[in-house]
Homo-oligomer: A and B are copies of this chain.
Amino acid sequence: MRMLVKISYHGGKFMGFQVQHHERTVQYEFERILKRMHQKFVRINPSSRTDKGVHAIEQCFHFDTHLNIPPDKWKYIFNSALPKDIYVQSVEQISDDFHCRYDCVGKKYRYKVYIDEERHIFEIDTKVQQKKPVDIKKMNETAQHFLGTHDFTSFCSQKTEIQNKIRTIYQSEVNETEDGFEFVVTGSGFLYNMVRVMVAYLILVGEGKRSGEEIHTLLEERDRKKIPFTAPAHGLYLEKIYLDKQELVNEFGTNIEIYNKNSTENV
């Protein structure tokens, strides 16, 4: 049977989600437990592969098992065996043709920034420090230009291997917080480093170094070199995985077209 697992993790001490040789990764921690239980290798299939330092409030994966263990017992087993910086929120059985990657119809990310010349010692790996003041209203206006369907070549890493760089953005806003601001973005999928490049650009706009009006031109030019910065990983949170088109419709209206059903690029 196929099990769907929803998890959270603090990305600070992981070399990302995906297994890499000899590195501490989220995937490895689960496959290690599953191997011990099944006496053979069992692969987990995530909705997203987060990068080194990136956090997850909600991430999903599925795996197949012949073990007849109730979902709540699975949750207990995982949480008892996992390190403290990963936590299983829920386990449920799903249909055998469900696939976390191909049935993912959207993702929401949040990027957290505090504004202060002094370093905040209790947020060193959970928020990014911005020393200079920024125009948050201007940043929010600029963020609106990302809404809709665009080719995001200009806003992803040049290392991106995926061919189709067209994505649809359903939500894109910069909100003031108690100690700074947050960028919240929901889309059909995201290219490698895409959210972090968007944030780096928005901060330049907030500092008055870029105009913000130029976004449409930048998108049309499809030239990554026009935005030479990528914001640090530790401010980024994968916040929600949308596995059901209806959830997106409920949140963002009925005019949503789901484009990319199979994007699991790192961001």
Chain A residues with a Cβ under 8 A of chain B? 8-10, 55, 79, 84-87, 89, 118-119, 121-122, 124, 126
Contact = CB atoms under 8 A, between A and B. Distances in A.
Contacts of A86: 121
Contact of A124 (B84, B89, B118): B84
A122 B118 contact: no
B79 A122 contact: no
A149 B85 CA distance: 42
A55 B122 contact: yes
A9 B121 CA distance: 6
Given A55-B122, A79-B119, A86-B121, 12 more contacts: A8-B121, A9-B121, A10-B121, A10-B124, A84-B119, A84-B124, A85-B121, A85-B124, A87-B118, A87-B119, A87-B121, A89-B118
A121 B84 CA distance: 7
A245 B118 CA distance: 28
Contacts of A119: 79, 84, 87
Contacts of A55: 122
A223 B89 CA distance: 43
Contacts of A9: 121
Nearest to A84: B124
Contacts of A89: 118
Contacts of A126: 122
A239 to B, nearest CB: 12
Contacts of A79: 119
A79 B118 CA distance: 10
12 contacts: A8-B121, A9-B121, A10-B121, A10-B124, A55-B122, A79-B119, A84-B119, A85-B121, A85-B124, A86-B121, A87-B118, A122-B126
A122 B84 CA distance: 10
A55 B9 CA distance: 22
Nearest to A7: B121
A55 B123 CA distance: 13
Q: Please indicate which of the listed interface residues A79, A84, A85, A121 has the most CB atoms of chain B within 10 Å of its own CB.
A: A121
